[in-house]
Chains A and B, each alone.
Chain A
Amino acid sequence: MSSATTTMQDTLPNPLNDVEVARLRADFPILGRSINGAPLTYLDSGATSQKPSCVYEAEQHFYENFNAAVHRGAHSLAVEATDIFEQARTTVAEFIGAKDNEVVWTSNATEALNLVTYSFGNASAGLGGDAAKRFALGVGDEIVVTELEHHANLIPWQQLAQRTGATLKYIPVDESGALRMDLAGDIITPATRILAFTHVSNVLGTVNDVAALVALARNVGALTVLDGCQSVPHLPVDVKSLDVDFMAFSGHKMLGPTGIGGLYGRAELLDAMPPFLTGGSMITSVSMESAQFLPSPMRFEAGTQRISQVHGLATAVSYLREVGMERIAGWEEYLGERMLTGLSSIDGVRVLGPGLGAARIGTAPFIIEGVHPHDVGQFLDSRGVAVRVGHHCAQPLHRALGVVSSTRASTYLYNTTSDIDALLNAVADVRGYFGVGK
């Protein structure tokens, strides 16, 4: 860590440290694995996090004791399962500062974002009556995204624009990958109806200025949709103080099971939106011609729900709260700085993104001159170091940075100082192995 900067880690009264992290790691059996003869160094939490045993034990406990379909049937198991399901909603809603009826379960963040775009598309087609007219888009309306987006917060908006005739615009990044906030005010105009942007870049780990972007959107009466996939797992996030209208988040990136994610939406908006997926459990009455729908969140939860996954996610959230999000953020800030500083000092390594000092989670994207990221990842894997290689579902951002793909190392609460050192040592040997730079 650079001595010139004071980090959150320095100022916390009881920061996380390697000793405590070593204790936490005992909760994650997979971290004890060896890979290709070396201890696993897992630095791919940006793709998916590892899970503490309490999370999948909670799922097992549910199946062994409470399994039943929720919100239907009057038998005791069904009632108990429903209680568990709704208690989980309360736990997760509290975690992000939302009310219970403002959290809708989805299979992942991608589905959460598609829920919004398809619902708005349905409103544009005239569904949902007068209440939904505020979401209807047409020719002359604008949707604004950023060049930083993960494809999941880009393509659904492209598709919505194509379905409705609205125009898709974007706030570009500069050559370092920082959002051009100086241009944002001109790009967001009175015709802008929706501003969709990521809280934290999944490639660069940089934290966007949510308050400034929300203020620009509010000024012109546009709705805001935040992609919280990379922020909710790593930073304290409160949707009310961020003041966004919607936020998508992913369970499996925050110690939870796969197959579960969520959408936060302001209650008055969700209750006015037409449904996306339709079917059982989301209606008040149905005739052969038409149907009336329940209010949120059930309006958006058609079909049998992911009950054990929801319970697993709530268990993950309790685990995170017990450790403390401030402490996790502080620890990852320390790990991230060590990683960025270390990588920058290795010959032939170029770290992508703005330099040190930019708000960033523990994510380090880099390229090694003369060695393709796929080959970098393969070499690191032979040392037990797991990282992500490729375009990380952000091709436009890579194009803006002048590269096709990159290598990304990303941390979580269970990473140690020696994980970072294992990465740095392995990276230092890459060019030699491939006979580059001699």
Chain B
Amino acid sequence: MSDLDQLYQQIILDHAKARHGAGLLEAPEGIAHGESLQHNPVCGDHIQLRLQLDGDVVKNVSWEGDGCSISMASASVLSEMAEGLDREEFMSILNEFRELMRSRGTRAGDEEVLGDGAAFAGVSKFPARVKCAMLSWVAAEAALLQASA
């Protein structure tokens, strides 16, 4: 598989179209939530993400934004995966994803841990695109912190 095909795996292109979690959800009364707006200064893309926390468990992650297929697919994967995880589980997946993105192509994604997120292993070979993949995860981390406060 060429580097380009590794970057744009079908699973990523599918998520970029599906956009799970797109459209911000209002948090019901009594549900803690956090929100974060992240910009990619290179292209002007942005993502606004809201995370709802039911006790210790992520109730849902919803978002709004415009961006390249990598950033949109990443937000979609994140949103699909986060639901039902407790805080600790979510943070450990986030850290695993971040490590993968920093690996410069030296690591294979662990599907057991990252699910569809493992398909992003090819992104780490393209340092200019890591920011795209991380945008929603950085927003989710900030939103989780806020929701937990």
B142 on interface, CB distance cutoff 8 Å:
no
Q: Which residues of A contact B43 (CB under 8 A)?
A: 372-374, 389-391, 404-405
Contact B126 A391 (CB under 8 A): no
B75 to chain A, nearest CB (A): 13
Residues B68 and A390 in contact, CB atoms below 8 Å apart: no
Whole-angstrom distance from the CB of B67 to the nearest CB of chain A? 7
Check if B68 sits within 8 Å of A391, measured CB to CB.
no
A371 → chain B closest CB, angstroms = 8
Q: Number of contact residues on A: which range applies?
A: 10 to 19
Complex CA–CA separation, A371 to B69 (angstroms): 8
Interface size class of B (residues with CB under 8 A): 10 to 19
When distances are taken between beta carbons in the complex, the residues of chain A under 8 Å from B54 are none
Min Cβ gap A344→B in Å is: 24
Contact string against A for B residues 1-12, beta-carbon threshold 8 Å, 1 for contact and 0 otherwise: 011100110000
Instruction: Give the interface segment out of A114-122, A184-192, A203-211, A375-383.
Output: A375-383
Most buried by B among A371, A395, A435: A435
Q: Mark B66-80, 1 if CB is under 8 A from A, else 0.
A: 111110000000000
**B residues less than 8 Å from A36 (CB atoms):** 3-4
Complex CA distance for A405 and B68, rounded to whole angstroms? 10
Contact of B2 among A371, A382, A389, A398 (CB under 8 A): A382
Q: Is B83 an interface residue (CB 8 A)?
A: no
Q: Which residues of A contact B67 (CB under 8 A)?
A: 372, 374
Please state if B69 and A375 are interface contacts (CB–CB under 8 Å).
yes
A374 contacts B44, C-beta separation under 8 Å: no
Q: Write out the residue numbers on chain A whose beta carbons fall within 8 Å of the beta carbon of B3.
A: 36, 382
> B70 contacts which chain A residues (CB < 8 A)?
374-375
Q: In the docked arrangement, what's the CA distance between A373 and B43, Å?
A: 8
Chain A residues, Cβ within 8 Å of B42: 390
Say yes or no: is A63 at the interface (Cβ < 8 Å to chain B): no
